[in-house]
Amino acid sequence: MSSYDFPDARGHFGPYGGVYVAETLMAALDELNAEYARAKADPAFWQEYHYELKHFVGRPSPIYHAKRWSEQLGGAQIYFKREDLNHTGAHKVNNTIGQALLARRMGKKRVIAETGAGQHGVASATVAARYGMECVVYMGSEDVKRQAPNVFRMKLLGATVVPVESGSKTLKDALNEAMRDWVTNIDSTFYILGTAAGPHPYPMLVRDFQRIIGIEAKEQMQEMVGRQPDMVVACVGGGSNAIGIFHPYVEVEGVRLVGVEAGGDGVATGRHAAPLSAGKPGVLHGFRSYLMQDENGQIIETHSVSAGLDYPGVGPEHSLLKDIGRAEYVAINDDEALKAFEDCCHLEGIIPALESSHALAYAAKIAPTMAKDQIILVNLSGRGDKDINTVAGLMGLTL
């Protein structure tokens, strides 16, 4: 696999990715691409990025051996990459710092972002406060309801949260609205896209800023257990935490990469958010990738207990990794994710995000089929404090 080098100069990951946007955005994307090429070659840029990750975010995030859970499951040893311990509570901040530093280089004083679960919105509001920028976050009105604590966190950080009422009122509609804002305010505004999707260069940009997860994990596993895991598992909505941990492992032989999509009520019911498991290639939000769509090419509404996975598309690099067989993609249903959420709380003393609970659920499912000396590394992409209202609601409680 030594030939893995994507995307190409125009942002294609094999047949996926690309730049499918209206002409008005093309110049801004070219400008961003050119600035990132300069920043990428500038050691001072990366020096500041790493300084911020260390002193503001608290990196490196540790690796943790989930001993009790592994023992109870009776198979492979499960380890967590603790992205939940980052400042703001998820992996999202790795990317927002990188993009905010780019925005600053480009002299943009206003940043916008879309958010589903609110983690990317919080991470964007956080860096905007940190660097003194105006911040507007678009969020589907359904998500505003189910992620109320994060909405308030964004407001505390000085951001304006705009509820989006169009379409299904979730993440995809927030993305549409952010694009509309960007096209209107293109001179003053930097769009901090939260996942490894969207038009080129975003999938590459977000991956490069999230790769730190996998780079650290490789060093830490070597240090901790003297070898690399047999399997790396991460949840996939747009796919930023997954590509962040997968990418440094793509050329490492013997490491299985498993992306876990949101199965919602079950893939067979059609009520899910698993385009790699049950969709087909199409074009949405500026890129070509697997999509949840009907026979007319209309985007289908998605269903997941986790707002962060409730997205009908997936980052283009995951579509490529699926097609070339380097990564496998599976789906975990809402009830399985909730069971893993509870087990993680009880057995490990960690409240995981509902998104990450999908990855945990797959690890818990597959571990008993593996040998006790095998290792599964799960990207615990975020903490679950934001989800307590949702989980309480499912238990029939109000807080």
Partner 1 sequence: MSRIAETFTRLQAAGEKALIPFITAGDPNPGLTVSLMHGLVEGGADVIELGIPFSDPMADGPVIQRASERALLHKVGLRNVLGMVREFRRSNQQTPVVLMGYLNPVHVLGYEVFAQEAAAAGVDGVLTVDCPPEEAAELSAALIAAKLDPVFLIAPTTPLARVKQIAALARGYVYYVSLKGVTGAGNLDIDDVARKIAALREFLDVPIGVGFGIRDAETARAISTAADAVVVGSRLVQEIEAATPETAKEQLTRLVASLKDAIR
Chain residues in the site for partner 1 (CB under 8 A): 10, 18-28, 166-167, 172-173, 176, 179-180, 183-187, 282-286, 288, 291, 293, 295-299
Minimum CB distance to partner 1 smaller for 167 or for 266: 167
Task: Please indicate whether residue 145 is annotated as part of the active site.
Answer: no
> What is the nearest approach in angstroms of partner 1 to the Cβ of residue 138?
12
Task: Please indicate whether residue 92 is annotated as part of the active site.
Answer: yes
Of 52, 83, 114, 317, the catalytic one is 114
Task: Please indicate whether residue 114 is annotated as part of the active site.
Answer: yes
**Adjacent-strand bridge partners of 339:** none
DSSP state of 367: G
Q: What is the dihedral of CA 140, 141, 143, 145, to 10 degrees?
A: 170
> What is the C-alpha to C-alpha distance for residues 363 and 368, in angstroms, rounded to an integer?
9
Of 92, 169, 322, 386, the catalytic one is 92
> What is the nearest approach in angstroms of partner 1 to the Cβ of residue 24?
4
Minimum CB distance to partner 1 smaller for 158 or for 167: 167
DSSP state of 300: P
Minimum CB distance to partner 1 smaller for 1 or for 9: 9
DSSP 306-360: SGGG--SB--HHHHHHHHTTSEEEEEEEHHHHHHHHHHHHHHHS--B-HHHHHHH
Minimum CB distance to partner 1 smaller for 15 or for 254: 15
> What is the nearest approach in angstroms of partner 1 to the Cβ of residue 44?
28
Minimum CB distance to partner 1 smaller for 291 or for 377: 291
> What is the nearest approach in angstroms of partner 1 to the Cβ of residue 93?
27
- Count Cβ atoms within 10 A of the Cβ of residue 318 and give its class: 0-12 exposed, 13-18 middle, 19 or more buried: buried
> What is the C-alpha to C-alpha distance for residues 155 and 171, in angstroms, rounded to an integer?
19
Nearest alpha-carbon partner for 351 in 308, 389, 324: 389
Q: How many Cβ atoms from other residues are within 10 Å of residue 63's Cβ? A: 20
> What is the nearest approach in angstroms of partner 1 to the Cβ of residue 179?
5
Residues taking part in catalysis:
92, 114, 381
